[in-house]
Amino acid sequence: MAAEQKMTYETWPASPEKQTLEAKNKFLGFWFFLGGETVLFASLFATYLALKDKVPSSDMALAKDLFEIPLAFIMTMLLLTSSLTSVYAMYHMKNFNFKKMQLWLGITVLLGLGFLGLEIYEFNHYVHEFHHSFTSSAFGSAFYTLVGFHGAHVAFGLLWITTLMIRNSKRGLSLYNAPKFYVASLYWHFIDVVWVFIFTVVYLMGMVG
């Protein structure tokens, strides 16, 4: 099936994300990238665990002084829900419903923006209320590198999905752009996978002590 072929509801295949050679390569290459990302984040987690609460003086804030359950919980819910909305978007993509796919991707982007806004508030709060900054301690460096790197992934994911939505807004779905949407949604889920470990290892384990 050629990528540029004009598709209809009747001719749209069952796996539109893997029809062309380019799409198959994209799929494989992207999962290879995710394997690498796993190693990258694992090394940041390892660094964080090794340097957690390593501060130069005893009056500096530790993990148990910093983190609060409500904020971490709201952020988790926002990101988790955005994962479901992007599943909805891919469901409509498979049913060749471009408008609904765009709608759910738009909701995903809004939820992601909400998450990012809260994270910016959170970092700002730590720096100004607790003097917990990137350069204040080894703990601070490890914390902002790990959580900030995840935040940067969210920001990049938002730009990626928004760009795809705008670029294809007048084109509709084709076998050329379906894999692009699919891969972007995989990236978005992966961001949520990383966040599950962040809220567990950084926030919850931080509050436990």
Interface residues with another protein (CB under 8 A) are 1, 9-10, 13-15, 18-19, 27-28, 31-32, 34-39, 41-43, 45-47, 49-50, 69, 72-73, 76-77, 80, 83-84, 87-88, 91, 94-95, 186, 189-190, 192-193, 196-197, 199-201, 204-205, 207-209
Beta carbon nearer to another protein, 123 or 199 = 199
Helix (H) or strand (E) holding 175: none
Structure tokens at 187: 């990236």
CB of 178 to another protein, least distance (A): 13
26 contact partners, CB below 8 Å, separation of at least 6: 179, 180, 183
The answer to whether 93 and 173 have CB atoms below 8 angstroms apart is yes
Helices (H), 13-97: 21-51, 63-66, 69-94
Q: Measured from the CB of residue 36, what is the shortest distance to another protein in angstroms? A: 6
Nearer to another protein, 14 or 58 (CB): 14
What minimum distance in Å lies between the beta carbon of 3 and another protein? 12
Angle at Cα 113 formed by Cα 88 and Cα 175, nearest 5°? 40
**The residue count for the chain:** 209
* Minimum distance from residue 115 beta carbon to another protein (Å): 14
Q: Which is nearer to another protein, 67 or 167 (CB)?
A: 67
Nearer of residues 127 and 145 to another protein, judged by Cβ? 145
Nearest residue (CB) to another protein, 38 versus 124: 38
Task: Report the residue number, 35 or 117, with the smaller CB distance to another protein.
Answer: 35
Between CA 182 and CA 86 the distance in angstroms is 9
Q: How far is the CB of 127 from another protein (least distance, A)?
A: 24
How far apart (Å, rounded) are the C-alpha atoms in residues 163 and 160?
A: 5
Q: How far is the CB of 119 from another protein (least distance, A)?
A: 17
Distance CA 77, CA 79 (A): 6
Query: CB within 8 A of 74, min separation 6: which ones?
Result: 118
